Amino acid sequence: MSNQISVPDPNLYVFDLVEKLQNSIKPFTFSSPKDDEELSVQVEQEEEQNKKQETADTTGKVCSYCGTIPETGEPNYLQLHYKKDYHRYNIKRKLHNLAPFSEQEFEKAIGDMDDESISGSDSDESEESDADDKQEEESEHKLTALLNKTNLADNSEDNDTDEPVTLNHTPFFMYTSKDLEDEKVYAIYKNLFDSKYVSNDYRSPEEEYKNNLSALESLNPNGTSAILMLGGGHFSGGIIKHKRLTKQKPNLSNPFADIEVVVSKTFHRYTTRRKQGGAQSTSDSQRGKANSAGSSLRRANEAALEKEIRELLDEWRGHLDNVSSIYIRANGPTNKSILVNYPNAPISGKDPRIKSVPFTTKRATASEIKRVWAELSHAKVQAKPKIVKKKAAGSRPQSATTSATNTKPQQQDPNEVHTKELTSLIKKSKIALLIAYVKKNKINVNEFQLVPASQYSNTPTLLHYAASKGAHNMIQTFLKTLKASPAVTNAAGKTPYQVAGDRATRDAFQLLRSSLGEGPHPWGSWDADAHVGRALTNDDIKERAQRESAEKAQEHAHRIQEMERQEEVRVQHRIDRNFPLTSTGRKVLSSSVAKSTSGKTSLLEMTPEERRKFEREQRALAIEARLGIKK
Q: CA-to-CA distance for 430 and 448, rounded, in angstroms?
A: 19
Q: CA-to-CA distance for 175 and 122, rounded, in angstroms?
A: 46
Q: In this structure, what are the phi and psi dihedrals at residue 621, rounded to the nearest 5 degrees?
A: -65, -35
Nearest CA to 486 among 251, 605, 505?
Answer: 505
Please count the CA atoms within 13 angstroms of the CA of 170 that sit on its side-chain side: 16
- Using the 8-state DSSP alphabet, how is residue 100 labeled? P
Q: CA-to-CA distance for 279 and 364, rounded, in angstroms?
A: 16
Dihedral of CA 436/439/444/450: which sign? Answer: negative
Query: What is the CB neighbour count within 10 angstroms for residue 98?
Result: 16
Contact 522, 490 (CB under 8 A): no
Q: CA-to-CA distance for 178 and 36, rounded, in angstroms?
A: 12
The three-state secondary structure class of 23 is: coil
- Using the 8-state DSSP alphabet, how is residue 272 labeled? B
Q: CA-to-CA distance for 304 and 270, rounded, in angstroms?
A: 10
Query: What is the CB neighbour count within 10 angstroms for residue 186?
Result: 24
Nearest CA to 330 among 350, 355, 353?
Answer: 355
Contact 459, 489 (CB under 8 A): no
Contact 579, 600 (CB under 8 A): no
Count of all residues that appear for the chain in the document? 631
* Residue of 79, 280, 572, 618 marked catalytic: 280
Query: What is the CB neighbour count within 10 angstroms for residue 393?
Result: 10
Q: CA-to-CA distance for 204 and 202, rounded, in angstroms?
A: 7
Q: In this structure, what are the phi and psi dihedrals at residue 79, rounded to the nearest 5 degrees?
A: -65, -40
Rg (CA), the chain: 42
Q: CA-to-CA distance for 295 and 136, rounded, in angstroms?
A: 67
Q: CA-to-CA distance for 376 and 324, rounded, in angstroms?
A: 14
Respond yes or no: is residue 276 known to be catalytic: no
Long-range contacts of 60-63 (CB under 8 A, 24+ apart): 63/87, 63/90
Contact 216, 19 (CB under 8 A): no
Question: What value, to the nearest 5°, has the Cα angle with vertex 25 and ends 24 and 30?
Answer: 125
Q: What is the DSSP string of 319-382?
A: HHHH-SEEEEEESHHHHHHHHSSSTT-SS-TT-TTEEE-SS---S--HHHHHHHHHHHHB-EEE
Contact 147, 340 (CB under 8 A): no
Enumerate the active-site residues.
Answer: 280
